[in-house]
Amino acid sequence: MSAVPDISGHFGPYGGRFVPEALIAALDELTAAHESAKHDPVFTAELDRLLSTYAGRPTPLTDARRLSEHAGGARILLKREDLAHTGSHKINNVLGQALLTKRMGKQRVIAETGAGQHGVATATACALFGFECTVYMGEEDTRRQALNVARMRLLGAEVIPVRTGTRTLKDATNEAFRDWVANVETTHYAIGSVVGPHPFPMMVRDFQRIIGVEARQQTLDLVGRLPDAVVACVGGGSNAMGLFHAFIPDESVALVGCEAGGDGVETGRHAAPLTAGTPGVLHGARSYLMQDEDGQTQDTTSISAGLDYPGVGPEHAFLRDSGRATYSGISDAWAMQALEMLAKREGILCAIESAHALAGACDWGRAQVAAGRDPRDLVIVVNVSGRGDKDVDTAARWFNLVSAEEIAEAELVRAHEGEQP
Amino acid sequence: MSARLDELFARCRSENRAALIGYLPVGFPSYDVSVAAMLAMVEAGVDAIEVGIPYTDPGMDGPVIQVAVDAALRGGSRVAHAFGAVQAVSPHVPTVFMSYWNPIEKYGPKRFAADLRAAGGQGAITPDLIPEEAGSWLEAAAAEDLDPIFVVAPSSTDARLAGVGNVSRGFVYAASTMGVTGTRAQVGDRAEELVTRTRAQTDLPVCVGLGVSNGDQAAVVGRYADGIIVGSALVRALQDDGVDGVRRLTEDLAAGVRRR
Ligand SMILES: Cc1ncc(COP(=O)(O)O)c(C=O)c1O
């Protein structure tokens, strides 16, 4: 069914392998391992077992009745990846890659992380499988997602703050690639999204597509038909590809991706490459990215560490150009409003990343109604990619939920923690 | 107009020594000083120069070069400036670019090749471009008679070595170790094996890079390679001791490749 990628990992003009020659042997090995595992009933049974008994799948589909009025009256169904073990969809991918690591006979896993959710998921799988684990995280992100740094260390992982470049996910990814080049014979690099050189965009999608497979059946069971739209936030694009993929052949279903609009896409301070970027090569693949006229990667702005990334997975670039999926930027302010709305109306504290999807779903529903559709006929599935514990600190500041003295005190504690190894 | 790369390697071979190739990024610590340092390398006996185009995400580079290109970019170094640097050094020694792929793709491979040729450049090393993805670059380079130079690594299979040999011109860049650029106490012992394996697949000269940092190492590697490539050590010399530091290190390296 899936025509892309081709055998060399291209989604039309996107994807491919733009990496040092030194990594090609490992990428070939990984491609072969994934290909053979896919058709190995022992492997797939083991992955299914882990997903159900360890990660808690299937995750529920929650009918969020009280959100309808914010979406022009459309019915909103929440795909609850926040209820998966470790608190986000990232575990789906990591369990698959951990099994592949074992299959390849490697003992060490490295990862990059932005919000820390992929790092936590990787540290978790490494604890479970007994692998050595190193996670690279931009120094800026270790600060805004301090809770996740502590979680990773508790799980036995080494967390290395990255101090080069913009000190965020982009630079953590560079550092992880450098580690991998030097240690590729013993180490697997578990990339956390549908980005990077082939086979990562395809492989991570394959491990995440369970989200959409479940959501599709759950929607059919609940409302007796397919949804009108499925909506997800897009950082690197893994939760979105995971949700979208099973729906691609269903042409009546709109695929809606929500990028980080930061201060507003029109300000230039955002992280929305599909909305406002141009095609280019970053981190091993051709896709849309935020770059200047010299091809230098531009700085990004987003309140959400997990979306604060100048690139995006190549399959999204392909879906964008073909028109099969549409993408837009959701501002920090709108995302935070959606986060509060979900918390107060449904009692669900979601990740700031996921709040972008909810905001985008509201926009989509209202636009359909404005265009003359009957809201009672509209069903929208929103991917709640993760839970919001890690973001309580950011939200507390945003909504002024704590006093200046309390913030100062918390900062002192954190500065002290920062001195620990 | 300087000699062509193939003429350079023929000459070095007749002198029974390896060629010395030096790398510096444009704009570190400033445009003028980076070009002055390249010209100092020429005076001190370098055989060819790799003009580095600074890039925000240098995945093949270790800390020394990362810090230097970061500073160059913050100082306003632009891709257009790199052609100026080529123009300044290419009359003296064969000059090639060292550039990650995205700045070339963004510039437009055809225009990039034409401007490089016009500046007197002879080719480009592209550390994150593999032959399979290089179609547009190979075409553009061929149209301007430029040498596309690709990298091989200890992990490359013989089939891949042959593939790289088929599309490369000028020389093949052999990465001495599995890793990124940076000075090392010893050049990996896999380097010699890689040179031997590469020679079995191609008649092109094979130059060894990654980790060579002084005359003694240059002498050792120069015994089995057609050329040695020095980057981080020169950048560090420039950072610590300025243009004179680059000159002294280049003299040491140039003596190294001539040592028997
Ligand atoms: C909860 C959550 N959602 C979304 C993302 C963005 O990643 P992706 O676009 O790959 O799903 C992250 C990344 O850290 C995340 O933690």
DSSP-derived secondary structure for A302-353: -S-GGG--S---HHHHHHHHHTSEEEEEEEHHHHHHHHHHHHHHH---B-HH
Q: B70 to chain A: which residues are within 8 Å by CB?
A: 164-165
Question: What pLDDT sits at residue A193?
Answer: 98
Burial of A145 (0-12, 13-18, 19+ CB in 10 A): buried
A417 pLDDT more than 80: no
Which is higher by pLDDT, B170 or A411? B170
Distance from CA of A17 to the nearest CA of B (A): 7
Mutation to probe ligand 1, out of A91, A141, A233, A394 (largest number of atoms < 8 A from CB): A233
For ligand 1, whether the C-beta of A385 sits within 6 Å is: yes
For ligand 1, whether the C-beta of A362 sits within 6 Å is: no
Question: What pLDDT sits at residue A414?
Answer: 65
Residue reference for tokens 């141009």? A278
CA dihedral A396, A397, A399, A403 (to 10 degrees): 80
A391 pLDDT more than 90: yes
Could you tell me which of A201, A137, A134 has the C-alpha nearest to residue A173?
A137
Give the number of other Cβ atoms within 10 Å of residue B151's Cβ. Answer: 23
Structural domains of chain A, with CATH? 10-52+89-204 (3.40.50.1100), 57-87+209-397 (3.40.50.1100)
- Locate the domains of chain B by residue range: 3-255
Query: B178 vs A18: CB contact, 8 Å cut-off?
Result: no
DSSP assigned state of A104: T
Catalytic residue selected from B15, B47, B61, B145: B61
Model confidence band, residue A406 (pLDDT cutoffs 50, 70, 90): confident
- For chain B, the residues whose C-beta falls within 8 A of a C-beta of chain A are 55-60, 62, 66-67, 70, 73, 78-79, 101-107, 127-130, 132-133, 150-157, 160, 164, 175, 177-180
- Specify the CATH number of the domain B3-255: 3.20.20.70
Mean pLDDT over A197-225 rounds to 98
Could you tell me which of B197, B205, B196, B247 has the C-alpha nearest to residue B229?
B205
| Test the B interface: residue of A294, A297, A298 with most B CBs within 10 Å | A294
Query: B106 vs A170: CB contact, 8 Å cut-off?
Result: no
Residue reference for tokens 């490359």? B156
User: Is the bond into B54 cis (omega within 30 degrees of 0)?
Assistant: no
Query: B106 vs A280: CB contact, 8 Å cut-off?
Result: yes
pLDDT tens, position by position, A286-328: 999 999 999 999 999 999 999 999 999 999 999 999 999 999 9
DSSP assigned state of B230: E
Could you tell me which of B140, B204, B217 has the C-alpha nearest to residue B172?
B204
Distance from CA of A86 to the nearest CA of B (A): 30
Distance from CA of B258 to the nearest CA of A (A): 30
Averaged pLDDT, groups of 10, chain B, 260 residues long: 89 98 98 98 98 96 94 97 98 98 98 98 98 98 98 97 98 91 78 97 96 94 97 97 98 95
pLDDT tens, position by position, A11-66: 999 999 999 999 999 999 999 999 999 999 999 999 999 999 999 999 999 999 99
Contact yes or no for B34/B201 (Cβ under 8 A): no
A1 pLDDT more than 50: no
Could you tell me which of A235, A215, A192, A224 has the C-alpha nearest to residue A58?
A215
> Rounded distance, CA A282 to CA B211, Å?
26
**pTM for the predicted model, two decimal places:** 0.96
Question: What pLDDT sits at residue B178?
Answer: 82
A421 pLDDT more than 70: no
Query: What are the distances in angstroms from CA B175 to CA A188, B148, B168, B172, B229?
Result: 21, 16, 15, 10, 10
Question: What pLDDT sits at residue A415?
Answer: 63
Q: Locate A278 and state its tokens.
A: 């141009």
Mutation to probe ligand 1, out of A81, A88, A244 (largest number of atoms < 8 A from CB): A88
Contact yes or no for A60/A211 (Cβ under 8 A): no
